[in-house]
């Protein structure tokens, strides 16, 4: 790492945390201050000593910004607005879809006998669920960001992972690219969190076997034994909330680090255990849906039950593999572990 390269990385690490209009002025001022602190012909050790005396670029940026206490401060506000728009949009779509399914399965009025009332109820139900989803999205995103602001977690370090800053913490351009979290990665996490919470927690009966009845009403047989599912509901809510928080945190820091990799692994272990116990619990599947499926494919009930058990066991294995890979890649991207280099063929 060259001396000037280290110098420039520090300046950039401070500037990137500041409003764009003040970045160049701060870089010029900070460059002059550092040069005044250095001897005439500085060595790399001289530069390291001065930079480490100035400390963590995140803290120095806060001093230049003259940060005040906000519910959501300026260092998080832009990302708060971005993710709020994203989550509200996802929530409106998901909850509207739930509203449509509810009206298909349990319409307040029959379209044949009262078409106007049916259409009115249909639109009202969709709007109601969409607004409810938007309100909940606004509330939970704001709560998460407010907690992150109060905890001082807006700069990519969890409180349990803080240590004295050193010049070695300045990432090279290659390391920064490898540890970067893509926007798509965070969006996928948020989408699955919202869908999972909205349907499995609030309307689990919508997972099921749909049939059109004699009167035109769609009948649905739930895949889950709803009473048995309630035994897992608290764990589902907690893990879904943690996934939501992790996704937001990833959106904020946009880079993998060791504390994030640890938190992701702990969440994956807990999720893996929940999936294992749920899918190995045969009582969680509604026996009526097994009977309906056996009748539909004209197979003995015992054969279908055995096939379902094998399928759920295979799903457990797939989930374990997925969570293991996701956890390992978190550490790899955080530079905590290194993959062996690929050998080039001669």
In this structure, the answer to whether residues 247 and 210 fall within a common structural domain is: yes
| Residue 134 confidence (pLDDT) | 92
In this structure, the answer to whether residues 239 and 96 fall within a common structural domain is: yes
In this structure, the answer to whether residues 85 and 48 fall within a common structural domain is: no
In this structure, the answer to whether residues 14 and 143 fall within a common structural domain is: no
Range of the domain at 36: 3-65
In this structure, the answer to whether residues 78 and 179 fall within a common structural domain is: yes
| Residue 345 confidence (pLDDT) | 45
Domain count, the chain: 2
In this structure, the answer to whether residues 78 and 57 fall within a common structural domain is: no
In this structure, the answer to whether residues 43 and 180 fall within a common structural domain is: no
| Averaged pLDDT, groups of 10, the chain, 346 residues long | 68 81 86 86 83 82 67 79 90 86 66 68 84 91 85 52 60 61 78 79 81 68 89 91 87 83 94 93 89 88 90 93 94 69 47
In this structure, the answer to whether residues 154 and 205 fall within a common structural domain is: yes
In this structure, the answer to whether residues 184 and 61 fall within a common structural domain is: no
In this structure, the answer to whether residues 142 and 234 fall within a common structural domain is: yes
Structure tokens at 26: 């701060």
Asked if residue 169 belongs to a domain, the reply is: yes
| Residue 310 confidence (pLDDT) | 92
In this structure, the answer to whether residues 123 and 238 fall within a common structural domain is: yes
| Residue 177 confidence (pLDDT) | 61
Asked if residue 338 belongs to a domain, the reply is: no
| Residue 278 confidence (pLDDT) | 92
């Amino acid at each position: 790492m060259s001396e000037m390269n280290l110098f420039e990385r520090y300046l950039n690490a401070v500037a990137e945390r500041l409003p764009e209009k003040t970045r160049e002025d701060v870089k010029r001022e900070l460059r002059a201050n550092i040069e005044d602190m250095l001897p005439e012909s500085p060595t790399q050790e001289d530069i390291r000593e001065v930079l480490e005396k100035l400390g963590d670029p995140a803290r120095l940026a806060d001093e230049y910004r003259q940060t005040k206490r906000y519910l959501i401060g300026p260092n998080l506000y832009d990302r708060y607005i971005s993710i709020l728009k994203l989550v509200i949009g996802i929530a409106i779509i998901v909850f509207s879809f739930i509203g449509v399914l509810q009206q298909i399965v349990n319409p307040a009025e029959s379209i044949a006998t009262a078409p106007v009332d049916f259409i009115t109820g249909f639109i009202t139900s969709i709007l109601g669920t969409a607004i409810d989803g938007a309100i909940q999205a606004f509330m939970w995103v704001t709560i998460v960001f407010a907690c992150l602001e109060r905890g001082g977690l807006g700069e990519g370090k969890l409180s349990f992972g803080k240590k004295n800053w050193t010049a070695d913490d300045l990432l090279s351009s290659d390391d920064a690219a490898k540890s970067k979290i893509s926007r798509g990665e965070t969006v996928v996490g948020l989408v699955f969190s919202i869908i999972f919470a909205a349907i499995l927690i609030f309307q689990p009966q919508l997972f099921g076997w749909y049939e059109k009845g004699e009167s035109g009403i769609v009948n649905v047989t739930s895949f889950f034994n709803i009473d048995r599912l309630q035994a897992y509901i608290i764990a589902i809510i907690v893990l879904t909330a943690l996934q939501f928080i992790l996704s937001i945190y990833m959106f904020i820091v946009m880079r993998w680090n060791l504390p994030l990799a640890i938190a992701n692994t702990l969440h994956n272990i807990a999720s893996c255990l929940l999936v294992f116990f749920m899918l190995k619990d045969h009582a969680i599947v509604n026996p009526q849906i097994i009977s309906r499926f056996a009748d539909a494919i004209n197979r003995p009930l015992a054969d279908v039950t055995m096939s379902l058990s094998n399928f759920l066991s295979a799903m457990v294995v797939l989930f374990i593999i997925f969570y293991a890979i996701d956890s390992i890649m978190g550490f790899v991207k955080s530079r905590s572990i290194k993959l062996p280099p690929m050998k080039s063929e001669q």
